[in-house]
Amino acid sequence: MRARVGISRARIVLLLLAAPALCMSVPLGARAAQTVSLETSFHPNRLGARTTIEFGFQVHNTVSRQAPSPVTEVDLHLPSGLGLATSTLGLANCEPLALIAGGVSGCPANARIGFGSATVAVPAQGEPIEEQGSLTALVGLPNSEHLEVLFYAEGHTPVFAQLVFPGSVLDDSAPFSGRLNTAIPLTPTWPGGPDVAVTRMTSTIGPRGLTYYRHVHGKFVPFYPRGIAVPKRCPHRGFPFRVDLTFMDGTRQSATSSVPCPR
Q: Give the residue-averaged pLDDT of 123-141.
A: 86
In a domain, 3, yes or no: no
In a domain, 94, yes or no: yes
In a domain, 154, yes or no: yes
Q: Give the residue-averaged pLDDT of 37-64.
A: 93
Say if residue 247's pLDDT is above 70: yes
Report the mean per-residue pLDDT for the chain: 84
> Per-residue pLDDT tens for 153-206?
987 666 557 889 999 999 999 899 999 999 998 888 777 788 888 999 999 999
What's the number of domains the chain is made of? Answer: 1
In a domain, 189, yes or no: no
> Per-residue pLDDT tens for 78-122?
999 998 888 999 999 999 999 989 999 999 999 999 999 999 888
Q: Give the residue-averaged pLDDT of 28-46.
A: 81
Domain that includes residue 213, residue range: 9-21+36-183+195-257
In a domain, 190, yes or no: no
In a domain, 1, yes or no: no
In a domain, 99, yes or no: yes
Identify any residues that bridge with 38 across adjacent strands, giving them in sequence order: 57
Percent of the chain with pLDDT over 70: 85
Q: Give the residue-averaged pLDDT of 40-61.
A: 96
Q: Place 261 in a pLDDT band, splitting at 50, 70 and 90.
A: very high
Say if residue 67's pLDDT is above 90: no
In a domain, 220, yes or no: yes
Q: What Å distances lie between residue 6 and 26, 116, 146, 159, CA to CA?
A: 18, 22, 34, 6
> Per-residue pLDDT tens for 218-236?
899 999 999 999 999 999 9
Q: Give the residue-averaged pLDDT of 39-50.
A: 97
pLDDT attached to residue 157: 63
Q: 187, exposed or middle or buried, with CB in 10 Å at 0-12, 13-18, 19+?
A: buried
pLDDT attached to residue 130: 85
